[in-house]
Amino acid sequence: MAELVLPRPVSQPTEGPLDATFWDLVEADFRRLIANHPVYATYLGIHDDDGLLDDATRDAVIQEIADARKFEREVESIDPSGLSESVRLERELALHNVRRELFNSEVHRVWERRSTAMDGVGDALFGIFARDYAPLAERLESLTSRMEAIPVALEQSKTRATAPQVRLWQELEIDSGGQMPFLFDEIKAAGKGVLDERAQARLDKAVETAKASIGAYVETIKASMGSTVESWALGSDAYDQLVGLRAFDGLDASQILEIGHRQLALNKAARVEDARRIDPSVDESVVVDRVKSHHPATFEEALAAYKDAMTRARAHIIEHDIATVPAGEQISVIPTPEYLRTVIPFAAYFEPPKFDKHPSGIYIVTPSVGDDPNAMREHYYGGISNTSVHEAYPGHHLQLSAATRHPSLVRLLTDAPEFVEGWGMYSEQMMREQGFDDGPEFLLAMHTDAIWRACRIILDVRMHRGELSVDEATAFLIEHTGFEHANAQAEVFRYTYTPTYQLSYLLGKVLLLQLRADEQRRLGDRFRIKDFHDALLRNGSLPISFHRRLLAAEAANGVGGLGADRAAGR
C-alpha cells in the first residue's frame, strides 16, 4: 500500500498547526481499512488485493470495533483550536462517521444476528466482473482466486453467530444462496475463448467448489432454523439514538414520522390532480393503468428508451445551466445481471470508483423478475424518464461523479443516504420545475414513486419502534401503493435490517428543498440555482446538516471556501 498516493485537501482559510496531524491520522486509518478489507479496496478502485477476500471471522469484527474506538479517541484528542476552520469541520465529520460505525457494530449488531456471507461473496465478485478496469483475462484470474477462497470465508462467517439468529434474516440468506450460482455461471461462461485451457480449468474447478461450499453452507443454516428468534426491531430507545447520530437537521423520530404522513397525503392529492389533467372523465386508477400501459414493446426497446431519457436529461442540464457536469464523467447502461434481479427488481446505480484510472458509473435496469409477463408495465415511458433522472442525470451519477473528486478521505467514507438518495428524489422534482419532461404523465410517475417513498418513512419508524409486524407493514404498503404482494413483502423484508435507510429518500428530498428555500431567502436576487447545485455537488455526499454549514462558510469565505475541491499536490 506504500505506493498508493492519497489526496489531501488544502486547509481553508489558512493551515492550522494540527492540520497535518489530523490528516496523518486519517490516512493511517484509511490504509488500515483497505488492507483489512480488500473487497472494499476493489470497490474504491484499489486493485492490489483483488484476489483476496476479507477475514470474515468474529475476531476480525471485534478487532475492527477496537480499531474504531482507538481512532475515535485519537480524533477526540486533537484540540480543535489547533485546526484550520475547514479541518475542524473534517474532524467533526470523522467523529460523526466513526460513531455511526460503532452504533452499527456495538448496538445494532446485525453482523452477529444475521448470516451475511452471501452479501460478502456477491460484493467481492460483482465489482471485479462488472467493471473493465483491466483486461478480462486479468480480472478472471482475480475472480478465480476469490472463488477459491469462498469455502474458507464461509467457515469463518459461522464464528460470528454467537447470538440467536433472526429467522427472517436467515431465510433471506438461504434465498441468496440459491441465487449465487447464477453469478458463478456467468463468470465461468465469460472465460470461454478468453482464458487458456489451464486457466479455464482452474476457473471451472473454483466455480464447482464454490457452488458445493455454498450448498453445504445453506444446509447448515437450514439445520439451525429451529434455534432462531423472531425479533428484529431495533426498539424505540436505540432507534432514537440512531436518528440522533444521523444528524437530520435536528429532527427526531416523531417529527420524521409526521413528515411521512404529511408527504403521503400531499403526493396522493398531487397524483389525483395529475390524473385529472390527463383525463378528467375517468377514475384515477384508470388513468394510472393507462399511463403504465404506455411502454416499449420489448426490453431492448426499453433499454434504448432509458439511454435516450438519460442523454436528453444531460443535455437539458447543460442547456439550461442547471449544474456543472464534471469533465470526463462516464456511465454505461446495462441489463441487471440475472443473479441480482430478485433483489433489484427495477433499477440501480453503482458509482465510479474513486481510484480507478478511468472511473465509470454503471446504471443497471432489470428486464423482469421471474419472467413476469407484466414486467414491461414497470418500464412505462413516464417511469423510464423519472428513473433515469434519479439514477443518472442529475441524480446519482452526476452527484457521485462529482463527490468522488473531492480530495477528503473523511468525506469518501461518510455514509449519508439522506443526501445521496434525497438528491436523487430532489432531482426528479427539480427537473420538472426546470421544464424537463414536465407533462402530467411524467408528474404522475414522479408522484407515484413519492407515495411509495412516503410509505417507507412511516414504515421505517413504526416497524423499528415495534409498532408493526412484517405482515402489517406489507399490508400497509399494498394498500397505499398497489404493489403486488411479493414485491411489497420483499420491500418490507429489507426494511427489517436497514433502520433509517429507507426513510432517507423522501426525507432527504424534503430537507434539500428546505435548504434551497433557506438559501433563496438568504441570498434573495443573488441566488442562482446552478451555484446552489454546484456547491452541494462539489462538497460531497455529506449529511444535509453539514451541507448547511458548508454553504454558510462558503458565503463567509467566498465561493470555493471550506468545501473547495482542491488537493494539496502531495
**pLDDT by residue (tens digit) across 342-356?**
667 678 899 999 999
Instruction: Give the C-alpha separation, 333 to 337, whole Å.
Output: 12
Which of 366-380, 417-431, 451-465, 503-517 is least confident? 366-380
Q: If pLDDT is split at 50, 70 and 90, which confidence band does 338 have? A: confident
Where does the pLDDT of residue 366 fall: very low under 50, low under 70, confident under 90, or very high at 90 and above? Answer: confident
- What global pTM score does this model have? 0.93
Cell of 369: 423478475
Mean pLDDT of 369-389: 85
pLDDT average, residue stretch 285-292:
94
Question: What is the pLDDT at residue 567?
Answer: 35
Judged against a pLDDT cut of 80, whether residue 368 lies above it is answered with: no
b/e sequence 160-198, b meaning 16+ C-beta within 10 Å: bbeeebbbbbbebbbebbebbbebbeebbebbeeebeee
* pLDDT over 70 percentage in the chain: 96
CA atoms of 115 and 499, how far apart (whole Å) = 18
| pLDDT level of residue 110 (50, 70, 90 thresholds) | very high
The residue ranking higher by pLDDT, 382 or 376, is 382
Average pLDDT, the chain: 93
What span, in angstroms and rounded, lies between the C-alpha atoms of 330 and 353?
11
The long-range contacts involving 489-494, CB below 8 angstroms and separated by at least 24 positions, are 490/342, 490/343, 490/345, 492/459, 492/463, 493/168, 493/172
Q: Say whether pLDDT at 433 is over 50.
A: yes
| Grid cell digits, residue 88 | 475542524
Whether the pLDDT of residue 329 is over 70: the answer is yes
- For the chain, the helix, strand and coil percentages under 3-state DSSP, each to the nearest 5: 65, 5, 30
Q: Are 136 and 343 in contact (CB under 8 A)?
A: no
User: Pairing between strand 347-350 and 331-335?
Assistant: unpaired
The reported pLDDT for the residue numbered 100 is 98
CA distances from 113 to 161, 177, 225, 502 (A): 6, 17, 13, 20
Find the largest Cα–Cα distance for the chain. Answer: 71
List of residues 6+ apart from 387 with CB closer than 8 A: 306, 346, 347, 365
Neighbours of 346 (CB within 10 A): 16
* Cα 54 to Cα 117: distance, rounded to the nearest angstrom: 11
Indicate whether 564 pLDDT > 60.
no
Q: Which of 121, 373, 262 is nearest to 270 (CA)?
A: 262
**Residue 390: pLDDT band by 50, 70, 90 thresholds?**
very high
DSSP bridge pairs for 229: 166
For residue 569, the model assigns a pLDDT of: 30
pLDDT at 94 over 80: yes
Per-residue pLDDT at 462: 98
pLDDT one-digit tens code per residue, 44-93: 999 999 999 999 999 999 999 999 999 999 999 999 999 999 999 999 99
The whole-number pLDDT of residue 2 equals 47
Give residue 342's pLDDT. Answer: 64
Task: Identify the helix (H) or strand (E) that includes residue 500.
Answer: none
Q: Are strands 347-350 and 361-365 parallel, antiparallel or unpaired?
A: antiparallel
Range name among 397-406, 453-462, 558-567 with the lowest pLDDT average: 558-567
Distance CA 421, CA 500 (A): 12
User: Which residues, in sequence order, are bridge partners of residue 363?
Assistant: 333, 349
Output the 3-class SS for 380-426.
CHHHHHHHHHHHCCCCHHHHHHHHCCCCCHHHHCCCCHHHHHHHHHH
**Over 70: is that where the pLDDT of 200 sits?**
yes
Across the range 91-101, mean pLDDT stands at: 98
Rounded average pLDDT over 182-190: 92
Residue 129 has pLDDT above 70, yes or no: yes
CA atoms within 13 A on the CB side of 151: 12
Q: Rounded to the nearest 5 degrees, what angle is found at the Cα of 526, between the Cα atoms of 520 and 527?
A: 35
pLDDT value at residue 493: 92
Euclidean distance between CA atoms 444 and 459, whole angstroms: 23
Residue 40 to residue 49: CA distance in whole angstroms: 10
pLDDT digits 0-9 by tens, 143-155? 999 999 999 999 9
